[in-house]
Structure 1
Amino acid sequence: MKVSRKIVKIENHHTYLDIETDAGKYRLILLNDDIVRIRCTFAAEFKPEASYALVLTAWQDHMDELLQGERKRVEAIAVAYQDCDTYILWAAKKLNIKIHKNPFAIEISDKNGNILHSDLQEKASVQDDLGRIYHYSCMDDDDYFYGFGEKAGVLNKKKRRMRMHNVDTLGYDSELTDPLYKHIPFYIKLNSKNNIASGLFYNNSYDSVFDMGCERSGYWNTYSYFCADGGELDVFFICGPKIKDVIKNYTDLTGKTILPAKYSLGYMGSTMYYTELDVSADKAILQFLDKCKEEEIPCDGFFLSSGYTAGADGKRYVFNWNYDRFTNPQGFVEEMKEKGAALAPNIKPGMLTTHPLYKEFAAAGAYIKDDSDEKPQTDRYWGGQASFVDFTNPKGRELWKKHLQEAIVSLGITSIWNDNNEYEMNDLASICHYEGLKENVSALRPLMPNLMAFMAKETVLETYPNIRPYIVSRAGFAGIQRYAQTWAGDNNTSWKSLKFNIPVILGMGLSGVANQGCDIGGFFGPAPEPELFVRWIQNGIFQPRFSIHSCNTDNTVTEPWMFPSYTKYIKAAIQLRYRLVPYLYSLLVEAATEGSPIMRPLIYEFQDDHNVLEESFDFMLGSSLLIANILDKGAKTRQVYLPAGAEWFDWYTKKRYEGGQIIEVEVSLGSIPMFIRSGAIIPMSEELTNIHKAVGETLHLLVEVSSEAEFSLYEDDGITNHYKHGDYLKTKVNINKSNGTKITFTPEGSFLTPVKVVQLDLICHDIAPIQIRLQDRKLSMFLNQREWQASTAGWYYDMEQKTAKIKYSNINATYTIHADFAVKDLISV
């Protein structure tokens, strides 16, 4: 065992600091004012820099050419160190980095003296006799831990031990199963005493474990640790002080969420049932779309399960169309488009040894090799023995791209569903090409799904350079958000899954993956009972990925209309989803630029309210809407905690509540408890029935004006890459209270919006406006609601909703709405 106990040598190289201890070598780099890299090896020298995960670097990296379109190179910040006898001080702009000499340990604090991270002295970094590396960190009783990627259970992971390992967890328990499909070794620590958040990202893709205080020894202070099966200790400390800051900085490091086509926010149909029909699976899917239209349920696409690739032996062969089930794939894709639906076919990276293309890939050296680096490694897979495409090999990538283009993308398909891509390989000594560096698969396994998604994106863009790819991936490592939307795999059909999939999704959002969701209605198990199905739809409409997907074990198929007497609730919920698309799309753009989650735990928005430190099931949709779904069978009431620091308004009645209290509301089967935050700005569309084809000419804005706020409403054509060249419209909406109540609209960009009419709903709880002006023009006030509805401009006060409803023709320039709330003295007149 090797333990770094004391410093024996220090070298300052201007933009980095090298430290040699009696066991390991360390290199400290201040990447920018918010990110400190601490790299450690117990070998004689550091390995070559070669990371697929990082998009922000300050050094030459072996992957620079491959990732040149997304990687940013910066100059590391030069910091002179001070020798303070027992420790070395590296004083940066925001941080003080104290490196203790003997016993060796690194401590990071802010300029106010708050300790943000501290190694466990005498046990900071360790390599055991099996080659595993450990990093021990001091813990405080007031620490809370969030993130860790896709993890079951409640949001706060304190007192948890979690394994990082991609695995196909069919029918998992969303409260207890560990691990799941994703491997994201990143977490956020929030100290509730000083209210400061910070993050640690371990750039190591070996299987690993996080122990967040489960292990205890009386010889040491309370600690957590990270343990990886191999590689180097390459840890990035990331500043806050807000959780929002940590996530922004982390996604600067590993990448922002890719902006997919807008239709990805629509309802995406899916089921394994249709593609397992002996014949005419294509007709079943087209009939599904017709039924959606008949039931007035919007639908924008269909995830095509892998049954479309079934060979004569019934096994899945990627890139192989089954012509009994799909007689004319090209014509089928075109019919889907005519009906306003995109097709996202399922593809898998494991190729059975009986696959018609197996020998071609083997001859090209495109598979991961056995431990002799000579033959393709085979392993257990769905259907039998298979070899796995090596996406770290240019030959594997190019051959995959060739067949993906020929079999799928050339048909006009720009949506790709990457599935069964966990790379569950038992012989971890198998060899990957690794861009010529050669490395065991144990070091690279979770990176394969990232590179698979990267190839899907590249294939679509090379074929259709101006079309935005929509890629979905089940597995992934840190940075998967750069290429794909994800989902939480093959969940179990149960009330528990409905409930605990929420913190699974929220944890992913806190791990940089803003665009994700779960299979609505449950994937594995019998068909959901009607009440569970309704409640799951009512929750699923707020997830960025909204898809009802099933592989029911009772010979049924989960469809929106499966329980006719309940269809009205399903339809109402999905139609609400489509009303919120302008808001959701703006949030998706925020994720793509800032890294912000779309579904946000309450602690993300209300870090000052310690009552939400462990809230796992209620969440914010963006910054303006609190969602408190019904998650328990037979519920008649729902208790909701409304965070302090805001006032809250019931979505339906506009009843006002003070923050910082628990309320109880009555609920029915049609209820979705939703609360509008003071200062909310929520853009909606009342006309949207299909994102592909419908044009929303009326923009409906719901605004609460009791506090100052800002929101950026984003529009573009939703499908092309023109937005990258300025063809977008970002309208900044500001509520200003400095001199009366003003709502200012400031547009940026060249996109010509289809919006012709704006309807502005102003929640005015205490007093109705006396006058509404558009710029300097007084708008007509109507006492009769029908007259207002028939008018082209004016306003009306809805007494029951305590809302001023304002209507006017859209203005493609900066303008302001003035609301005058002075009290009119009718007596003295």
Structure 2
Amino acid sequence: MRKIRLSSRIIFASVTFVVLTFRAEAQEPGNYIKTALGVEIAVPASFSGIKKIRLEPVSAQVIHVTATAGTAFLPERSLMTVKQSGTAVKFTVKDGQGTVILYTDSLQVEVSSATGLLTYRDLQGKLLLAQSKSPLIALVPKVFSGEPSYQVSQLFDAQDNEAYYGLGQHQQGMMNYRGRRVDLVQYNTDIAVPFFVSNKGYGVLWDNYSITRAGDLRDYEPLGALKLFSKDNVEGWITASYADKKTPGDVLFSQPVSEISMNWLTDQHKFPDRIKPADAIVNYEGCVASGLPGLYQLQLKYAGYIKVWFDGKLVADYWRQAWNPGAAVLDLMLEKDRKVKVRIEWVPDGGESYLGLTCLPPLPESVKNTFGLSSESGRELNYYFIKGKTADEVVSGYRLVTGKAVLMPKWAMGFWQSRERYKTEEDILSTVKAFRDRKIPLDNIVLDWSYWKEPEWGSQEFDPARFPHPEQMIRELHQQHVNLMISVWPKFNKGFAVYDGLDQENFLYKRNIADGRRDWIGKGYQNTFYDAFNPAARTAFWNLMNRRLYSKGIDAWWMDATEPDMHSNLPVEIRKELMNPTYEGASTTYFNAFPLVNAKGVYEGQRKANPEKRVFILTRSAYAGLQRYAAAAWSGDIASRWEDMKTQISAGINFSLSGMPYWTMDIGGFSVEPRYEKASGADLEEWRELNTRWYQFGSFVPLFRVHGQFPYREIYNIAPETHPAYKSMLYYSRLRYRLMPYIYSLAGKSYHQDYTIMRGLMMDFPADLKAANLNDAYLFGPSLLISPVLGYKDRNRKVYLPEGQGWYDLYTGKYFKGGRELNAAAPYEKIPVFVKEGSIIPAGPEMQYTSEKPADPLTLFVYTGRDASFRLYEDEGTNYNYEKGAFSTIEFSYREDTHTLVCGKRLGSYNGMLNDRVFNIVFITPKSAKGIDFKRKADKTLRYSGLPMEAKMY
């Protein structure tokens, strides 16, 4: 029995750290049980709350860790993981000096016999990860909705220069989450995924479904945690001044403020009733200081226009519509007791007021070099440690545990046109005709919400007044080789037959109805969501979709509001009430997993109804394991602003590093500032340039998709054909289709080799710390370095070329050495794109849709200077025969020492495969600059019939 004397407590974010002094009676070694699948280790009674730890190798590189506060482990019950083969992994267990050590062929896991602390090393003894000795209660008993549970936490030590990536999709512009607090809670523009990748050769998948904090586990403090000084230098508050927007220089009244916390719909009473938010402009002025020096992280929540200055420097300039507030983190470095002047200018949006400002003080020394995970509710401590020499190996381990990223239909890699929204059949058909007439490539058109009769949200039925012939409309689209994706919400309005049927089966959450809330459509309708955790409810949901939509020929599903977002701007505690209880249990325990089980029902339903046609789902929220359900995610209802475009880069990279390869965004942004709605003059030109730059960026992400509120987002509605905006968007659309052999090969690799398409630079250049943490550039596949242009009228941008090799300008072929920063040219029509030395990029013919032509002739652009390789992947494109081996690959390899390109033997086959084809080869060298010109005469031409061939550069 361990004897412990508590000396003090420090409470962080309801997670209890305990600073201890104790003397302990040593635990006798050998207190473990080896099983067929792993080892169970008894832990002395201690502050952690853990009594037993279980280690089970899933593979030589993946260890499943569970810990319980009971005497026996609970039956395994996981939504995010897939059942393993059952084949035991080779391992041994040994007693060490006060430790129990489990060995696999790849790593060793040490468990302290005295404390239960875990340490992970490779077989050479190199440290990978160690549980922190900073005491933390791992399992704190809780009760939610009458169900016993635990608050579950772990704290790990951070190594020198360690960085953390992944954790889903967050929009604060951060790449590396070390020293940051990351809230894993589903929200319109935030996606929670409890999986992170470290640059030290491992990742951790946290098998928990409740709201979780990662990194810094402390609570944000109110603004009053800082010393506050008014505009007139009176200590104790800052000054809030209110004016009418029409006469902003005339202050109507002022008041002292020491807290800014209008975060939710329930906080609207905090805005002064002496002026309406829609009429107001508010200025907060004063100074802040602290006796504790260091980095303060200020969390800003906002709607409307917001600007923030520190000591006269503008550090924030944002806008967001009130129905979907945004969030940002502002870094403020404070010297001891030195005042920093703060000014905030806020123009609320419409009739609601959302503004919050809180702060996270500098990290205490005791937890400064740690990284934690803490979840509100869980049955046990449950996570997977995943070793990998590269980030790709770590992601592969994640997919071993959670499932393969199934291959999307090839057409999904083409261009999607969408808007909020096409209101009639004529809107849809005339848009597609305009694309085809103008020869703008198109593969998919999206029908957003409200195609149903206004009161019948959830009917999944076309309004016959606006869509009188849906089957015929879909046939006409298919005849033009265009697919139709349709919006399907998990929402049902009260008062029509579908609602009543689901209600009778007890498939609906009831609280939103009982609370009497109404939505914002027409007169407002009572509504709620179905319980996607219930297998029978999922079946009913799919059957409804199948009967009323899929049977008509619908090709793909847009699963909106899957957080679930039953009513916008409610505090998370009320959101949990609205989905309580779930079929699985308390909503607190399962809150984050709704998008996973919702996608599961649709994927499994369609595969059963039609085993041949690939499922494709686009969902606004996601969770670990989503990739196995043919689901991609997009970044939600972001704003049409330059700063929002920039935050998409780190959001997409970290989402991809969370193990899910298919991500997209609303090119152009969804929510539109009023100045753009009927833009003219300078506003119109900025709107066109913003969309052009975003479109250029969007052509190099896994899924190429335009969407947003009015103005209409078709390129011919953004600018006339003679305008550089139109010309540039058309150029990048055509380039995307030319690169389809490259792009679809990356998709194939994502399934067959667990690849990641949108790549943070830490994946390929982990030793280059400058590259690894860039939040404004990434690799698209193995070869293309993408650097979006992020400012209005910018005609150059700084581009860092990772060290250790050379780079070629995509458009000119000019060669540059790596490890340097360029002031790269960025004319209106183009963004900087560089090609990695030692690359082979296959390109096909010009196309209007992905299935129009086979990739013949195939142009191979060979960027010399280093050895290079690329595996061309091809299959039937729309079915699941690839799972049965129906695909082909051709390995292209270039050897620098012999200046020879080898086209390897074709492996595999599939229906419709080209047996004979032409390869046009273009060699690019540092001394022979050649841009990606598809009209250029080839240096060599090969006629290929499946057997190895080679072409020499000289």
Q: Do Structure 1 and Structure 2 share a fold, with TM-score over 0.5?
A: yes
> Structure 1 residues 466, 92: closer, same or farther in 2, change over 3 A?
closer
Cα deviation, residue 745, structure 1: 2.6
Q: 1:496 pairs with 643, 651, 654, which one? A: 643
Q: Per-residue deviation at 1:602?
A: 1.4
Tell me the residue number matched to 1:12: 34
Q: Distance in 2 between matches of 1:378 and 1:48?
A: 39
In the TM superposition, what is the alpha-carbon distance from 1:353 to its structure 2 partner? 2.1
Distance 2:515 2:82 in 1: 31
Deviation track 1:522-579 (CA, whole Å, cap 9, x = no partner) reads: 1012347111111000000011121110123xxx322211221231111111111111
The structure-2 alpha-carbon separation of the partners of 1:217 and 1:765, relative to structure 1 and needing over 3 Å to count, comes to closer
Q: Which residue of 1 aligns with 2:726?
A: 567
From 98, 108, 112, the counterpart of 1:96: 108
Paired residue for 1:520?
Answer: 667
What CA distance in whole angstroms lies between the structure 1 residues aligned with 2:931 and 2:708?
43
Structure 1 residue 102: Cα displacement: 3.0
* Matching of residue 426 in structure 1 with residue 576 in structure 2: yes
1:205 matched residue in structure 2: 209
- Show the counterpart of 2:709: 551
Residue 327 (structure 1) aligned to one of 468, 480, 497: 468
Check conservation: 1:651, 1:676, Cα contact below 8 A.
yes
Kept after mapping to 1: 8 A contact 2:487/2:559: yes
Distance 1:133 1:543 in 2: 36
Structure 2 residue 936 is matched with structure 1 residue 753:
no
Residue 119 to residue 581, structure 1, CA distance change in 2 (3 Å): same
Aligned to 1:410: 551
In the alignment, is residue 235 of structure 1 matched against residue 383 of structure 2?
yes
> Which of residues 81, 85, 99 is equivalent to 1:87?
99
Question: Judging changes above 3 Å, is the alpha-carbon distance between structure 1 residues 402 and 705 closer, same or farther for their aligned structure 2 residues?
Answer: same
Partner residue of 1:105 out of 112, 117, 122: 117
Q: CA deviation at 1:188?
A: 1.1
Q: Check the 8 A contact 1:409/1:459 in 2, yes or no.
A: no
Question: Aligned with 1:672: secondary structure?
Answer: coil
What is the SS of the residue equivalent to 1:229?
Answer: strand
CA contact (8 A) 1:377 1:387 kept: no
Q: Which moved more, 1:197-206 or 1:125-134?
A: 125-134
Query: 8 Å contact 2:638–2:666 — kept in the other structure?
Result: yes
Distance 2:806 2:446 in 1: 41
Say whether the 8 Å CA contact 2:812–2:932 is kept in structure 1.
Answer: no
Q: Is contact 1:368–1:433 with CA below 8 Å preserved after alignment?
A: no
> How many residues end up aligned between the 2 structures?
745
Give the C-alpha shift of residue 616 in structure 1.
Answer: 1.4
| Displacement of 1:37 | 1.4
1:637 equivalent in alignment to 2:796: yes
Give the secondary-structure state (helix, strand or coil) at the position aligned to 2:406: coil
The whole-number CA distance in structure 1 between the counterparts of 2:932 and 2:482 is 41
Partners of 1:264 and 1:534 in 2: CA distance: 21
Return closer, same or farther for 1:310/1:493 CA change in 2, 3 Å cut-off. farther
Residue of structure 2 equivalent to 1:27: 54
Residues 103 and 748 (structure 1), Cα distance of their counterparts in 2 relative to 1, 3 Å cut:
same
Name stretches of at least 5 consecutive residues in structure 1 with no aligned partner.
58-71, 170-179, 191-195, 276-280, 769-796, 822-829
Question: For 1:680 and 1:586, how far apart are their aligned partners in 2?
Answer: 14
Q: Is the 8 A contact 2:151 2:374 kept in 1?
A: yes
After TM superposition, give the deviation of residue 687 of structure 1 in Å.
2.2
Moved more, 1-10 or 683-692: 1-10
> Deviations 1:796-823 (Å, cap 9, x if unpaired)?
x9999999824546422122223153xx
SS of the aligned residue for 1:357 comes to helix
Q: Which residue of 2 aligns with 1:48?
A: 75
Sort the Cα spacing of 1:158 and 1:220 in 2 relative to 1 into closer, same or farther, 3 A: closer
- Distance in 1 separating the partners of 2:580 and 2:185: 17
Closer, same or farther in 2 for the Cα pair 1:692/1:308, shift >3 Å? farther
Structure 1 residues 798, 602: CA separation in 2 closer, same or farther (over 3 Å shift)?
closer
Cα deviation, 1:238-266, whole Å, max 9, x if unaligned, reads 10222121111112211222211111011
Instruction: State which of 740, 748, 755 in structure 2 corresponds to 1:581.
Output: 740
* Unaligned runs of at least 5 residues, structure 2: 1-15, 143-149, 218-359, 566-574, 677-685
Does 2:919 match 1:763? no
RMSD over equivalenced CA pairs, Å:
2.8
Distance 2:928 2:658 in 1: 43
- The residue type equivalent to 2:946 in the other structure is A
Contact 1:2 1:128 in 2 (8 A): no
Closer, same or farther: CA 631–798 of 1 in aligned 2, 3 Å: closer
Distance 1:816 1:494, change over 3 A: same
TM-score w.r.t. the length of structure 1 is: 0.85
8 Å contact from structure 1 (residues 418, 474) kept in 2: yes
Residue 309 of structure 1 aligns to a residue in which SS?
coil
C-alpha spacing 1:216/1:767, structure 2 compared with 1 (3 Å): closer
Q: Deviations over 1:655-682 (max 9, x none)?
A: 1111111122222101221111112111
Q: CA deviation at 1:330?
A: 0.7
Q: 1:400 to 1:678 in 2, by over 3 A?
A: same
- Deviation string 1:60-89 (CA, Å, 9 cap, x unpaired) is xxxxxxxxxxxx4432444222142x3222
SS in 2 for 1:639: strand
User: How do 1:109-188 residues align onto structure 2 when only pairs under 5 Å count?
Assistant: 109-121=121-133, 123-128=135-140, 130=142, 131-152=150-171, 153-169=173-189, 180=190, 182-188=191-197
**CA distance in 1: counterparts of 2:932 and 2:417, whole angstroms:** 40
* Partners of 2:533 and 2:598 within 8 A in 1: no
Deviates more, 1:211-220 or 1:538-547: 211-220
Q: Aligned partners of 1:43, 1:429: CA distance in 2, in Å?
A: 29
- The 1:494/1:541 distance shift into structure 2, 3 A limit, reads same
Partner Cα separation in structure 1 for residue 709 and residue 904 of structure 2: 47
Per-residue deviation at 1:119?
A: 1.0
Contact 1:591–1:597 (Cα < 8 Å) also in 2:
yes
Give the alignment partner of residue 529 of structure 2, picking from 388, 410, 428: 388
Q: Matched residue of 2:938: which SS?
A: strand
Alpha-carbon distance, 1:155 to partner: 1.0
Report the Cα offset of residue 421 of structure 1.
1.2
Q: Secondary structure at the match of 1:258?
A: coil
How far apart are 1:14 and its partner, in Å?
A: 4.2
CA distance in 2, matches of 1:506, 1:549: 20
Residue 56 of structure 1: CA displacement? 4.9
Q: Which stretch of the first structure deviates more once superposed, 574-583 or 713-722?
A: 713-722
Secondary structure of 1:520's counterpart equals coil
Cross-structure match for 2:588: 442
Is 2:833 the counterpart of 1:674? Answer: yes
- 2:700 is matched by which residue type in structure 1? F
CA distance in 2, matches of 1:640, 1:629: 10
Residues 536 and 167 from structure 1, CA distance in 2 versus in 1: closer, same or farther, beyond 3 angstroms?
A: same
Q: Quote the residue 1:75 is aligned against.
A: 88
Residue in structure 1 matched with residue 426 of structure 2 by the alignment: 283
Question: 2:436 aligns to what?
Answer: 293
Asked if 1:530 is matched to 2:688, the reply is yes
Return the alpha-carbon distance in structure 2 between the equivalents of residues 601 and 799 of structure 1.
24
What corresponds to 2:946 in structure 1?
813
SS at match of 2:827: coil
Distance in structure 2 (CA, Å) of the matches to 1:378 and 1:443: 25
Shift of 1:93: 2.4
Distance 1:101 1:124 in 2: 17
Paired letter, 2:810: W
- What's the counterpart of residue 864 of structure 2? 705
Contact persistence 1:161–1:212 (CA under 8 A): yes
Deviation of 1:654 (Å): 0.9
Q: Could you report, residue by residue, the CA deviation over 1:406-450 in whole angstroms, capped at 9, with x for unpaired residues?
A: 11110112311111111243317822333xxxx112222332222
Q: Which residue pairs with 1:480 in the alignment?
A: 626
Question: Which one-letter code corresponds to 1:325 in the other structure?
Answer: R
SS at match of 1:230: strand
Cα distance change of structure 1 residues 739 and 576 upon mapping to structure 2, 3 Å threshold: closer
Distance 1:801 1:164, change over 3 A: closer
User: 1:174 maps to which residue?
Assistant: none
Percent sequence identity over aligned pairs? 24
- Of 868, 876, 880, the residue aligned with 1:721 is 880
Query: How far off its partner does 1:394 sit?
Result: 2.6
